């Protein structure tokens, strides 16, 4: 399928003339036209109507980029319908901001101005065949007839007026449906429309006043229209602001995707881009407690991308609810990506869900938890930013004010990258949260603690929990009546519990800005002496029996205390090895330190051009003067590597750069891969990247950003990498 694409037009909207960016798709077929009827005019692809451009702003001399969907790989466009002459990609827009090119199939399209500043980005743009059959319908009878009409097979049915549907219509897969401005459907009786591959809320109601008009019913109908069996996976596309008076109800529906506009994209109504995604859902005032904005309970294979949810600060509601409210049935497989949730009780609430992949989300100002997970293990949380979760809370409820809370079956949870700051509490693993892993996360100024792994019930088993390669600073200034708090990491048990087991590893982390003295155990009076904040706090409260075995090794502590141990008669604490200070007068009534090493030796890694390469081969060129320093130290079986490499040259657009592991060492083969945030200078900007140590590998990879997919910009004597990573070695 081919398309002629125009990127500027004038439209009359609401009686006012606006300059708006529009992709006007006049589509042609690649095969013989046969009896197809040509459209009498160019067809407007409504999804590409975007924000009003300020007066006088032009796209003259800008560029249009055409990509394979979901990648930054260019996809071919053409100067002629027969695809014999390729067109330049990116394509430079003319003096009036237009492009005359042909395309074939699905594209991601990015538009920049003449200064290279991105103005618009659209994903999964389908360039349809305008020479195929178009059937316009304006009545219910015409709509029913189009379902079975042979003339519509392989073509498109366009709804041009409001239609009331009174029976259940299952849309055939061999024809498309679209809605012209002013065309939509409503339902009465048994009316329904299902089987669509794509739907929009505006197809089911008029969004008269964006952000105020109740569009919850339209959203729910759009989800019903696209959901279905595993062989049918449809998408609800949305753009702009949507007010809702009740939940967007996708419960009990499977195999659907909600996709909004990518963050930072302006949208209609003249509003500027904000911290929220270009698609924003606004619940009505007085939203009920524990009520989700997007209800995906009892759903499988349901996903949300690029949507903002704007709830009241300190108000009610969950942004997205997954799983089930009760019972034991599990509803797995959910992707939540680039979603911004503000306010309410919880950002993401999961119970009996599992197989969740939450990536690049921004959750702020929740009153209970940013993320709540119960009986929902085997999930990944990558690169999320969670802040201001009930930051003023002072009380004894362990879950309240937690950025992330995992309880009763949170096994197999991996939290990688991102930042957790200015919350009452950081991450809580409570009761049967095993095989958890926290790596490469930046923690800052969480008031009680950054991480707590606490056994809280009889028969609790918390084992194989790993805290590695994280950065902890600030926070840890208050504690509850059980002593949970006043530390970066709190590990232990509390309450009346028996037959418990708690074990895990704390390795390769960086602790700064904690108190400057080791807190001794309880004295005979049960009073904790001395300062209050520790890097790691081992806690037993109440009548606890059982075992506790944690290994602490290879951490870097600056102005920090090591262990705050208030076990009066507990089992031994195994501190494998580490680089710690302020151990004078340490005694622990049943605790012990083994294999302790003091004063590690730093070694320089001599320059050799062969130490540097890239994913595309030898395309990272580092001169001797570019290596400002590469130093490493080994403590037991843990290496800490610090590096500062500037003014290097990158070619062939690699997705990662590589540095040999110094000293001939190999990364531990039994461990998972290790991550650490570093700074990358490339393409004229400094940004947060990722250093990656692969298990059983001999190199460190440097990725430009946490997506692990963004290619480096080719440049000469400008690229730099600097930071620190700690990882186990063989």
Question: Greater confidence, 550 or 239?
Answer: 239
- Each residue of 420-448: pLDDT tens digit? 999 999 999 887 777 889 999 999 989 99
Q: Tokens 């059980």: give the residue.
A: 482
Which residues, other chains included, contact 116 with Cβ-Cβ below 8 Å and sequence gap of 6+? 63
Q: Tokens 């708690």: give the residue.
A: 502
Q: Do 484 and 568 belong to one domain?
A: yes
- Whether residue 350 contacts residue 374, with contact meaning beta carbons closer than 8 Å, is answered with yes
Question: Greater confidence, 316 or 277?
Answer: 316
> Across all residues in the chain, what is the average pLDDT?
76
Strands 63-67 and 91-92: antiparallel
203: left (phi over 0), alpha (psi -120 to 50) or beta: alpha
Question: Greater confidence, 608 or 119?
Answer: 608
User: Could you tell me which of 650, 729, 657 has the C-alpha nearest to residue 689?
Assistant: 657
Q: Do 534 and 568 belong to one domain?
A: yes
User: Could you tell me which of 729, 651, 659 has the C-alpha nearest to residue 689?
Assistant: 659
Q: Hey, what are 423's tokens? A: 């919350």
In this prediction, residue 598 carries a pLDDT of 36
Question: Greater confidence, 24 or 191?
Answer: 191
Say if 718 falls within a structural domain: yes
Task: Count CA within 13 A, CB hemisphere, residue 96.
Answer: 8
Q: Hey, what are 686's tokens? A: 């400094």
Please give the helix or strand (H or E) that residue 675 lies within, else none.
strand 674-682
d(CA 306, CA 338): 5
Residue 716's CB is within 10 A of a number of other CB atoms, namely 11
Residue 49 has pLDDT above 50, yes or no: no
Distance of CA 238 to the CA centre of its chain: 19
Hey, is 690 helix, strand or coil? strand
Q: Do 704 and 655 belong to one domain?
A: yes
Domain holding 118, by residue range, is 2-127
Final residue before a domain boundary, out of 74, 96, 127: 127
Q: Do 574 and 607 belong to one domain?
A: no
Give percent above pLDDT 70 in the chain. Answer: 72
Confidence bin at 551 (pLDDT 50/70/90)? confident
Q: Do 467 and 485 belong to one domain?
A: yes
Q: Hey, what are 634's tokens? A: 């080994």
- Each residue of 475-515: pLDDT tens digit? 888 888 877 888 888 887 766 655 566 777 888 888 775 43
In this prediction, residue 653 carries a pLDDT of 93
- Whether residue 507 contacts residue 555, with contact meaning beta carbons closer than 8 Å, is answered with yes
Residue 15 has pLDDT above 90, yes or no: no
Q: Do 436 and 514 belong to one domain?
A: yes
Q: Hey, what are 305's tokens? A: 């991308």
Q: Do 426 and 561 belong to one domain?
A: yes
Q: Do 632 and 580 belong to one domain?
A: no
User: Could you tell me which of 219, 214, 225, 185 has the C-alpha nearest to residue 201?
Assistant: 219
d(CA 252, CA 168): 18
d(CA 472, CA 559): 12
User: Model pTM greater than 0.85?
Assistant: no
Say if 582 falls within a structural domain: yes
Of the candidate ranges 160-169, 452-461, 676-685, 712-721, the one whose mean pLDDT is the lowest: 452-461
Of the candidate ranges 243-257, 327-341, 496-510, 525-539, the one whose mean pLDDT is the lowest: 525-539
How many helices (H) and strands (E) in the chain?
2, 62
Question: Greater confidence, 201 or 497?
Answer: 201
User: Could you tell me which of 121, 17, 33 has the C-alpha nearest to residue 81?
Assistant: 33
Final residue before a domain boundary, out of 598, 629, 647: 598
Q: Tokens 């960086």: give the residue.
A: 510
Of the candidate ranges 330-334, 342-346, 401-405, 581-585, the one whose mean pLDDT is the lowest: 581-585
Alpha helices in 73-199 (DSSP H): 140-148
| CATH classification at residue 655 | 2.60.40
Residue 607's CB is within 10 A of a number of other CB atoms, namely 14
Q: Do 390 and 526 belong to one domain?
A: yes
In this prediction, residue 544 carries a pLDDT of 54
State the total domains in the chain.
3
Say if 568 falls within a structural domain: yes
Most confident of the following: 362-371, 469-478, 500-509, 551-560: 362-371
Q: What are the residues facing 305 on neighbouring strands?
A: 259, 337
Final residue before a domain boundary, out of 598, 622, 638: 598
- Each residue of 85-106: pLDDT tens digit? 888 999 888 877 777 777 776 7
DSSP 144-198: HHHHH-GGGTTSEEEE-S-EEE-SEEE--TTSEEEE-TT--EEE-TT-EEE--SE
Say if 113 falls within a structural domain: yes
User: Could you tell me which of 382, 488, 376 has the C-alpha nearest to residue 432?
Assistant: 376
Q: Do 437 and 477 belong to one domain?
A: yes
In this prediction, residue 28 carries a pLDDT of 28
Q: What are phi and psi of 257, to 5 degrees?
A: -130, 135
Q: Do 115 and 50 belong to one domain?
A: yes
Residue 389 has pLDDT above 80, yes or no: yes
In this prediction, residue 568 carries a pLDDT of 36
CA dihedral 484, 486, 492, 493 (to 10 degrees): -10
């Amino acid at each position: 399928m081919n398309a002629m694409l125009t990127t500027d037009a004038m439209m009359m909207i609401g009686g006012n003339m606006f300059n708006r960016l529009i992709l006007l798709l006049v589509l042609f077929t690649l095969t013989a036209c046969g009896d197809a009827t040509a459209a009498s005019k160019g067809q407007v692809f409504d999804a590409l109507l975007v924000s009003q451009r300020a007066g006088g702003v032009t796209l003259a001399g800008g560029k249009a980029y055409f990509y394979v969907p979901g990648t930054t790989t260019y996809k071919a466009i053409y100067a002629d319908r027969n695809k014999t002459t390729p067109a330049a990609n990116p394509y430079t827009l003319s003096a009036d901001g237009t492009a005359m090119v042909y395309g074939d199939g699905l594209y991601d399209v990015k538009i920049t101005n003449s200064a290279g500043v991105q103005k618009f980005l659209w994903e999964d743009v389908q360039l349809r065949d305008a020479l195929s059959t178009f059937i316009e319908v304006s009545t219910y009878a015409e709509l029913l007839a189009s379902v079975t009409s042979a003339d519509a097979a392989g073509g498109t049915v366009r709804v041009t007026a409001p239609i009331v549907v009174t029976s259940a219509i299952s849309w055939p897969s061999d024809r498309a449906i679209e809605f012209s401005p002013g065309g939509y459907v409503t339902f009465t009786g048994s009316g329904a429309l299902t089987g669509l591959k794509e739907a929009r809320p505006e197809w089911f109601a008029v969004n008269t006043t964006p952000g105020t008009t109740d569009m919850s019913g339209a959203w729910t109908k759009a989800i019903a229209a696209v959901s279905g069996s595993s062989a049918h996976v449809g998408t609800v596309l949305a753009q702009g602001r949507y007010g809702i008076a009740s939940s967007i109800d996708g419960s009990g529906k499977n195999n659907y995707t909600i996709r909004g506009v990518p963050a930072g994209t302006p949208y209609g109504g003249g509003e500027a881009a904000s911290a929220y995604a270009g698609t924003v859902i606004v619940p009505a005032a007085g939203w009920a407690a524990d009520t989700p904005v997007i209800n995906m309970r009892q759903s499988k294979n349901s996903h949300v991308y690029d949507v903002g949810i704007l709830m009241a600060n300190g108000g009610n509601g969950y942004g997205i609810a997954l799983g089930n409210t009760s019972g034991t049935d599990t509803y797995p497989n959910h992707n939540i990506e680039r979603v911004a949730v503000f306010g309410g009780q919880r950002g993401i609430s999961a119970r009996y869900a599992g197989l969740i992949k939450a990536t690049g989300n921004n959750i702020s100002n929740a009153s209970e938890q940013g993320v709540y997970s119960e009986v929902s293990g085997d999930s990944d949380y990558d690169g999320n930013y969670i802040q201001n979760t009930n930051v003023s809370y002072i009380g004894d409820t362990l879950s309240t004010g937690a950025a992330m809370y995992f309880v009763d079956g949170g096994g197999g949870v991996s939290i990688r990258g991102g930042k957790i700051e200015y919350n009452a509490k950081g991450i809580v693993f409570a009761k049967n949260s095993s095989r958890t892993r926290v790596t490469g996360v930046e923690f800052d100024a969480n008031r009680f603690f950054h991480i707590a792994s606490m056994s809280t019930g009889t028969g609790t088993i918390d084992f194989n929990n790993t805290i590695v390669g994280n950065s902890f600073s600030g926070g840890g200034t208050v504690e509850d009546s059980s002593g949970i708090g006043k530390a970066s990491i709190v590990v232990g048990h509390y309450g009346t519990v028996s037959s418990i087991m708690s074990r895990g590893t704390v390795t390769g982390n960086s602790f700064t800005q904690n108190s400057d003295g080791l807190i001794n155990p309880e004295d005979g009076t049960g009073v904790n002496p001395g300062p209050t904040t520790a890097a790691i706090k081992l806690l037993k409260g109440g009548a606890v029996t059982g075992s506790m075995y944690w290994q602490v090794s290879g951490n870097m502590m600056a102005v920090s205390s090591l262990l705050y141990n208030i076990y009066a008669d507990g089992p031994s604490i195994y501190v494998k090895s580490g680089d710690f200070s302020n151990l004078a007068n340490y005694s622990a009534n049943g605790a012990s330190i083994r294999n302790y090493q003091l004063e590690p030796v730093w070694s320089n890694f001599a320059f050799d051009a062969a130490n540097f390469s890239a994913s595309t081969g030898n395309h990272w060129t580092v001169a001797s003067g570019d290596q400002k320093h590469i130093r490493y130290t080994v403590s037991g079986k843990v290496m800490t590597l610090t590096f500062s490499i500037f003014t290097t040259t990158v070619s062939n657009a690699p997705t990662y750069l590589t540095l040999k592991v110094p000293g001939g060492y190999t990364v531990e083969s039994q461990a998972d891969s290790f991550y650490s945030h570093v700074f990358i200078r490339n393409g004229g900007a400094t940004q947060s990247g990722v250093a990656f140590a692969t298990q059983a590998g001999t190199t460190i990879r440097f990725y430009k950003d946490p997506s692990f997919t963004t290619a480096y910009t080719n440049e000469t004597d400008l690229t730099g990498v600097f930071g620190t990573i700690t990882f186990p070695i063989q």
